[in-house]
Structure 1
Amino acid sequence: MHPMTRFWKDRRGNFGVMTALLLVPLIGTAGMALDFGRALTIKQQLVGAADAAAVGAVAEKSKAVAQAMQLQGDGSVALDPAEARGIFLGQMSGELSTLPVSVDIEVAKNNGILTSRVSFSATLPTTFMAVLGKDDITVSGQATAQYQTPSFIDFYMLLDNTPSMGVGATPSDVAKLRAATINGRNGKDKDCAFACHIVSESGVEDMGSYYNLAKSIGATIRIDVVADAVAALMTTAKETQTVTGQFRMSAYTFGQTALDAKLFTVANPTTDFDALGKATQKIQLMSIPSHDYPNNQTDYNAALTGIDDKIKSTGNGTSSADRQAIVFLVADGVGDAQRADCKEKLTYTKVGSQQLPRCMEPIDVQYCNDIKLRGVKIAVLYTTYLPLPENSFYNTWIAPFQPKIPSNMQACATEGYYFEVSPTEGIAAAMDRLFRKIVSAPRITS
């Protein structure tokens, strides 16, 4: 056989040839797994950095959140690129810190929710895949985070300081007043632990005033507890707000005197809670010349109309420019006013030569609804109007509509914003719980 023929037919060197021919794709394939594995590891680290950057971009103290507090309505929030990029790069170390990473960060506000989106892209050089002509691998990803901006709220504290709030704050205080008045004062108004709360116009030295009598015997009455509770609530407001100026507080009473009863401003809307607390501690029971004086002792219609006039606007609470208005009503729910259009008990009292109408009825829910229709919320702390079956005045004028008192007060309140507190419970604690419930409630924006 010719030597060349034997050469072409000889198969003994094929393995070496085949190995040489397959070595390049085998190395490339194995290298591909290594390069892709490395790329996946780096991508996971970059995703972690993106997560941190997304959270940091809408952190409570971030510039984006600060700007969102001032932004009225929805829209994009301008973000300092260096701030978020710095957070992103701060999570990277070792070889990651040298990677050429492209970072894009967007922050948008929608219905009070800030959403940050961080996207990244990085080009990684390959090691083994280069033999196949693939010099680099691109990895990319995205991370998002959300932040619920605080609810900005204007509280309008409407505090009942009318004569019925002269009841003893606790059963022991009621007993003290009853014992001190069992024989009457000045020959009249016996047993006035509940119904007789005359505050003389002549000043605190007049012991003919049952208000001053309560003070002299160390009996605490409800209006004093309410005043102290509002002052204490200012501490809660300071501790609860997450950003400066989140809450503004104001306080009003039903008036200083029954002779000219009208909404009285204790403190205008303010963020100075210490000053408001000091102002509310000076609240006193409305003065009244006599127990049967008929002129506007507890006119809820006028008080609610007056507070409605004080509220110039209300919003969703998504920013300092879009504040939610909330009326915080603290009262016992029984109206007593000079008005003939009475829905419950109407009588007439002679004052001089005049026969003046006196209307006693539970709070008129329609006046509450008029306020709520504007988008204003009403929180009600109902201080229980206690039945007094041994008292003839109560049996004649209040008992017939007693069941409507708490139901009307609850109907006055925005759903979920009602709380009842009896004399055996703490008004301050109840007010604190209701306040915290309000500020922690989810914000409804649509």
Structure 2
Amino acid sequence: MRAAHRYFSLLSRFHRDDSGNIAIIFALALLPILTFVGSAIDYSMAVRAKAKLSASIDAALLAATGYTAMRGSTSDAKTAATNMFNGQMAAHNLSANSLSIDINDSVSARTVTGTATVVVKTAFMYMFGYPTMTVSASSSASASFPTYMDFYVVLDNSPSQGLGATTADMTTLQNATSDKCAFACHDTYTSSSKKTLQTNSYYSIAKKKGVTMRIDVVRSATQSMTDTATASQVVSNQYRMAVYSMGSDCGSVGLSTIASLSSSMSSVKSSIGSLDLMTIPYSGYNNDMCTDFDGILAAADKAIPAQGDGSQSNPQKWLFFVSDGVADYYYPSTCSKTTVSGGRCQEPLNTATCTSLKARGIKIAVLYTTYLAITNNSWYTTYIAPWRSSIGDIMKSCASPGYYYEVDSSGSIGSALNALFQQAIASAHLTK
């Protein structure tokens, strides 16, 4: 009995003794603690891998929408994107499990989407049946295609553009001519009966006196516009330009090519250098009817193809028209003003062809070089002055809304023409 009593006494003391519980509890808790810490480490590795994966897919999509890729096909862009992705992943010491890149091109823009996954090996979670973790990343990017544009520039080089560019130039020319004429008429012969070369025409006098004519300013301004086109293009050959005059001689008035449609702005600029005032065989030839706006604009309408969507293969079409807005031609039955000398018509621009062009979707930019008032000139006072104030409004109605400038100072013609060009390319939008 005494032995049994001692046994139960020892058992009771062991039951009441709790001095080892901390070690036991710690041992029991150690496993979930290690599991939590290990899972956190594995998760942190996965987060870092996802960040590198995201950076790689972002770089890939940027490669597909970059300057070079936007010039090529979707197949080329996809190849560039894939190569960029693989290169980035290699730099991060990662190997992708999957990669999907989709490229969709519309007329105006390219949209690229991409998704990729990578498998990350775990350091701790494999002990619990999770040897790997799969992380994914996706991204998208878009970029607009450059708008390709063709500019058809019609320049008024009729005799009225021989007007002195400024009031001072007009006065200089009037003081140097016997009949106080402010126009530097470019006569080539002295008369119809005597085909003697004119050596002292008003054009020659203007040159000798250093008079700047409107045609000189228009020439310089148009050349400056080609420089603006070169500096503004996003890609090579984005802009093309063709330049026309109203003919080199009053005897053959009609749309005359100064520079054929070309993307070489340097060549166009060089060709514009040949633009000059229309010549007149002799004073009073054809009753001075040398400004045929109706025929010129109708010919331009035929020369300009159908409006394009702005793609490289089908550029947008623009007509730029620079003129002082006064027609002087044989319009015996359609003249809006009283005809003189058996059908000679002096009137503001007839906008019928402008309306026709705009109906075709062609954008028209108009630069009106203000028809300056001429003092001490009976012809101007009788035939132009009564309606001169209406010229600007009529020229504006020819232009597409928002693409009209009027300048009455020769020094502003270049700035205005460049402003029109910049406005056209800045607000360009693609039509389908």
Uncovered stretches (5+) of structure 1, i.e. residues with no partner: 69-76, 185-189, 350-355
Q: Does 1:147 align with 2:156?
A: no
Q: Does 1:250 align with 2:242?
A: yes
| CA distance, structure 1, for counterparts of residue 153 and residue 395 of structure 2 | 16
| CA distance, structure 1, for counterparts of residue 97 and residue 396 of structure 2 | 59
Q: Is the 8 A contact 1:315 1:324 kept in 2?
A: yes
Paired residue secondary structure (2:76): coil
Question: Greater helix percent: which structure?
Answer: 2
1:66 to 66, 71, 78: 71
| CA distance, structure 2, for counterparts of residue 384 and residue 150 of structure 1 | 35
- Structure 1 171/400 Cα, relative in aligned 2: closer, same or farther at 3 Å? closer
Q: Is the 8 A contact 2:96 2:116 kept in 1?
A: no
Which residue in the other structure is 1:371 paired with? 357
| CA distance, structure 2, for counterparts of residue 121 and residue 320 of structure 1 | 37
1:171 to 167, 170, 187: 167
Which residue in the other structure is 2:424 paired with? 438
State the Cα distance separating 1:88 from its structure 2 match.
2.4
Q: Does 1:278 align with 2:270?
A: yes
State the Cα distance separating 1:329 from its structure 2 match.
0.9
1:36 to 35, 43, 48: 43
1:304 to 287, 297, 312: 297
Q: Does 1:86 align with 2:91?
A: no
Which residue in the other structure is 2:187 paired with? 199
Deviation larger for 300-309 or 242-251: 242-251
- Structure 1 80/101 Cα, relative in aligned 2: closer, same or farther at 3 Å? farther
Q: Is the 8 A contact 1:171 1:424 kept in 2?
A: no
Q: Is the 8 A contact 1:198 1:291 kept in 2?
A: no
Which residue in the other structure is 2:370 paired with? 384
| CA distance, structure 1, for counterparts of residue 420 and residue 76 of structure 2 | 37
Deviation larger for 367-376 or 217-226: 217-226
Which residue in the other structure is 1:73 paired with? none
| CA distance, structure 2, for counterparts of residue 295 and residue 284 of structure 1 | 18
Q: Is the 8 A contact 2:366 2:399 kept in 1?
A: yes
State the Cα distance separating 1:50 from its structure 2 match.
2.0
Q: Deviations over 1:20-79 (max 9, x none)?
A: 4443333222322232233223322322222222112111122xx1235xxxxxxxx223
| CA distance, structure 2, for counterparts of residue 279 and residue 36 of structure 1 | 69
Which residue in the other structure is 2:111 paired with? 115
Aligned length: 420
Uncovered stretches (5+) of structure 2, i.e. residues with no partner: none
Q: Does 1:329 align with 2:317?
A: no
- Structure 1 121/205 Cα, relative in aligned 2: closer, same or farther at 3 Å? farther
Q: Does 1:126 align with 2:122?
A: yes
- Structure 1 243/35 Cα, relative in aligned 2: closer, same or farther at 3 Å? same
Identity %: 33
| CA distance, structure 2, for counterparts of residue 420 and residue 249 of structure 1 | 22
Question: What is the letter of the counterpart of residue 384 of structure 1?
Answer: T
Q: Is the 8 A contact 1:161 1:223 kept in 2?
A: yes
| CA distance, structure 2, for counterparts of residue 171 and residue 215 of structure 1 | 16
Question: What is the letter of the counterpart of residue 333 of structure 1?
Answer: G
Paired residue secondary structure (2:111): strand
Which residue in the other structure is 1:428 paired with? 414
Paired residue secondary structure (1:230): helix
State the Cα distance separating 1:129 from its structure 2 match.
2.2
Q: TM-score, normalised by structure 2?
A: 0.88
- Structure 1 424/269 Cα, relative in aligned 2: closer, same or farther at 3 Å? closer
- Structure 1 110/9 Cα, relative in aligned 2: closer, same or farther at 3 Å? farther
Instruction: Report the structure number with the largest CA radius of gyration.
Output: 2
| CA distance, structure 2, for counterparts of residue 287 and residue 347 of structure 1 | 24
Q: Does 1:411 align with 2:397?
A: yes
State the Cα distance separating 1:204 from its structure 2 match.
11
| CA distance, structure 2, for counterparts of residue 408 and residue 372 of structure 1 | 15
| CA distance, structure 2, for counterparts of residue 397 and residue 7 of structure 1 | 134
| CA distance, structure 2, for counterparts of residue 159 and residue 151 of structure 1 | 25
Paired residue secondary structure (1:78): helix
| CA distance, structure 2, for counterparts of residue 21 and residue 116 of structure 1 | 53
